[in-house]
Chains A and B, each alone.
Chain A
Amino acid sequence: MKTKSNRTASWLMLGAVLSSVLIYFFPLWKITLYAPQYPQGIRMYIWINKITGDDAYTLQNINILNHYVGMKDIDPHAVPELYYFPYALAGIIFLGVIAWLIKKRWTYLSWAILYALSGAIAIYDFYLWEYDYGHHLDPKAPIKVPGMAYQPPLIGTKHLLNFTAISLPEWAAVFMLVSVVLGFAAYWCCRSSSDKQLAHHHPNILTSSSQSRVLSHH
């Protein structure tokens, strides 16, 4: 028995899945570094499966700068998440498709919760990497500033010696957020239609709005 709200929920869920697919094609996060010698800034982009920069040499150039304070080289090959996150996302998209096919409110809700938790874990993981890069410094570093760590901010701006680091979500993060929101919205819609079905049998608990809708339906 298809209702208008159910169809809306289905569309919202489809939107959530498609939005998730876009994550592969855009960076998740951007860290911009400004210094007197880099007035135009150096930009590093974190994707679901790679780390890139303004050009092919950005990482090398950032690593050269970082080595003075003893930071490890940023080497995408040394970050295993970049290998398995794309598969994890594929799994989530797959589950999303299943949820979309089942078209039940609990499938939408479980998917959205799973997705939100995964996203939170990914962000926490990103934080841990930032912490690791910023705190585990080579004891033989040429420049040692006591008490100084070089962890870039998760979101926002931070001054690190001569650098100003700005860390902000990018398009793929927006798509991830949109996916989660649409998942919850699908659940919300579905709940509304369940209410409606419920209301059909128990007119007493109708809200005034759904009552008018039901009435016009007849």
Chain B
Amino acid sequence: MKPKIFPQQKQLIPLFCGIITIAGLLLSSCNSHSSGGQGAISAQEAAQQVYVAPGQYDEFYAFMSGGYNGQVSVYGLPSGRLFKIIPVFSQNPENGYGYSEETKPLLMTSYGFIPWDDAHHPELSQTDGIPDGRWLFINANNTPRVARIDLKTFETVETIEIPNSAGNHSSPFVTENTEYVVAGTRFSVPIPQKDVPIASYKQNFGGVLSFIKVAPSGDMDLAFQVMMPGFDYDLAHAGKGKSKDWVFFTCYNSEEAHTLLEVNASQRDKDFVAAINWKKAEEYVQQGKYHEFPGTYYDNRFDTSTQTAHSYVHQGVKVLIPSECPGLVYFIPAPKSPHGVDVDPSGNYIVANGKLSADLSVFSFDKIQQAIQQKQFDGEVNGIPVLKFDAVLAGIVKSGGLGPLHTEFDDKGNAYTTFFISSEVVKWKLGTWQVEDRQPTFYSPGHLMIPGGDSRKPWGKYLVALNKITKDRYLPTGPELCQSAQLFDISGDKMKLLLDFPTVGEPHYAQAIPASILMPRSDKIYQLASNHNPYVTRTEKDAKVVRKGKRVDVYMTEIRSHFVPDNIEGIYLGDTVYFHVTNLEQDWDAAHGFAVEGNRENAELLLMPGQTKTLKWVPVRVGVFPFYCTDFCSALHQEMQGYVRVSSPNDNVALTWSTGKE
């Protein structure tokens, strides 16, 4: 009996496999190159590579976008240890960002105060195409904004709103010397905004690509926008080396659908990579060939001298129309709704990751230049010449995977691409376009990141895959699970999976830089002598309480382990009290906090040494309310407390303040 059954079973196995594979593909989580494989190393070996002994430092700083928590998280590599969360587009009760009067303006927009956003792509500033450790930029996707973080303090120091844009997704990518930060719209909208039928999309909708000028000081200004057809501009990267004058944007929905895009924007075989010559754009702007478009937008700058952010409101944008500006924009046909567009370290190869495809199209900058010169065009769209696909194609990577999203590069001529659907990272060789290695990820990677992997100088030791789905990878935490990062060693021929670690929010893109560049730049304290906050209290003798009508300003100091003043009387119901608290400490890591009971609108303050911050407090009850230091600052931290007395307006209590008066 048995010999008869076995052959039948053998025939069934391929059939089952086929069914399972197809089912898996449809579920978008199939992994045909399942775990293990050639890259597998022993747990012990992996542990040794990621183990950073107590007291030792990591080799790299990694900056991961917080996704829908609107922040940036700072990790160490290879350990995967979390160091800090930098609030950017979201209020952060932990340190009072967006709650203190000094930081509230950073969240101001033309819509008003918006304390949340969806932050996708961190981008380090560059000099000569190499990350230089000055600033980190990050985009707000929902209410279009770009922020700048100062990497001396790891604090957000500027946010600029992008008018005429919607879904600021292809953002914020920098040119080779951080001349510009680009910000392309994901959603096309009426420009300027107006009340029109959605069905009039093709007539009324457009997409702008914005160029934000970055001054040597870091200050950002919206220089100009390029008016593009009403497509969805998905991602971008600037050229480098020979292609440094260009920026490349991918787009999908060249069908210009406005409903059920999952079907309607996936009909055409090819969408586009838009190549924009920003040097040419500068010339056209200088020649005055722009249109003034209306548009109100906020530029919020944190002044490091006063440690206070101010909002500057701007009106109007310079807009370039490609049909009027020959040589400004070219379209390169790219198969299957391209997502990421990535430029190799030499600046010659531009990789378009067609997310509904199995293959990658790689274009050559040299061929693009040649095709432009020889006018090898395949028609045009809205006056934008479309280059002949075959004329600019350098090669096709036959990957065998499905759903390529993003590519980064090492320093040995290799490229690494994430495949969302087949859930893997594929390593391939530039020039030969041959696949060298592939490793599964767990599961469904979006971006991947190699330190410096989108620059002219990749530090090609590690690769981090940023996974959207974790399912069974960690202890379950109810229906909501963490996202995760996976660290690979890419120093050898085969990629080796070293470590999984959970991430905060949904990290989309990430950037990393050697600690040796950033560590020496990091500030230890804010110099009290350079603190020019208008409400600073430099010494305990200067502490005071000032009443102006119903507004009371408390000029307060904190130092281990007391407040001056710590007894305040003469506050009345109906007053608005501003606690301007200065941390007098000048010692590294000597932080103090400040919180007062019954504070309805705001959180606490967390003050680094030498900082002044202001907390607004509107008392709602008569009584005596404690305030205290929230940061365990010292051995007598618990004693670091005080009282503020709130009286009825009918009473007569003199305004007094003191510390140490019995």
Contact = CB atoms under 8 A, between A and B. Distances in A.
Interface of A: 56-57, 60-61, 64, 68, 142-143
A61 B635 contact: no
Contact of B586 (A57, A68, A142): A57
Interface of B: 525, 559-560, 585-587, 590, 635-636, 639
A57 B587 contact: yes
B661 to A, nearest CB: 14
A60 B609 CA distance: 13
B585 A143 contact: no
B587 A64 contact: yes
Contacts of A57: 525, 586-587
Nearest to B529: A56
A61 B634 CA distance: 13
B636 A142 contact: yes
A209 B636 CA distance: 73
B635 A64 contact: no
Contacts of B587: 57, 60-61, 64
A60 B636 contact: no
A64 B636 contact: no
B586 A143 contact: no
Contacts of A56: 586
Contacts, number: 20
A56 B530 CA distance: 13
A60 B586 contact: yes
Contacts of A142: 635-636, 639
Nearest to A55: B586
A68 B635 contact: yes
Nearest 4 pairs between A and B by C-beta? A57-B586, A61-B587, A64-B560, A142-B636
Contacts of B636: 68, 142
B243 to A, nearest CB: 46
Nearest to B636: A142
Contacts of B585: 61, 64
A61 B528 CA distance: 14
19 contacts: A56-B586, A57-B525, A57-B586, A57-B587, A60-B586, A60-B587, A61-B585, A61-B586, A61-B587, A61-B590, A64-B559, A64-B560, A64-B585, A64-B587, A68-B635, A68-B636, A142-B635, A142-B636, A143-B635
A60 B585 CA distance: 8
Nearest to A57: B586
A57 B585 CA distance: 9
B95 to A, nearest CB: 21
A56 B586 CA distance: 9
A142 to B, nearest CB: 6
A143 B639 CA distance: 13
Contacts of A64: 559-560, 585, 587
B86 to A, nearest CB: 25
A166 B585 CA distance: 25
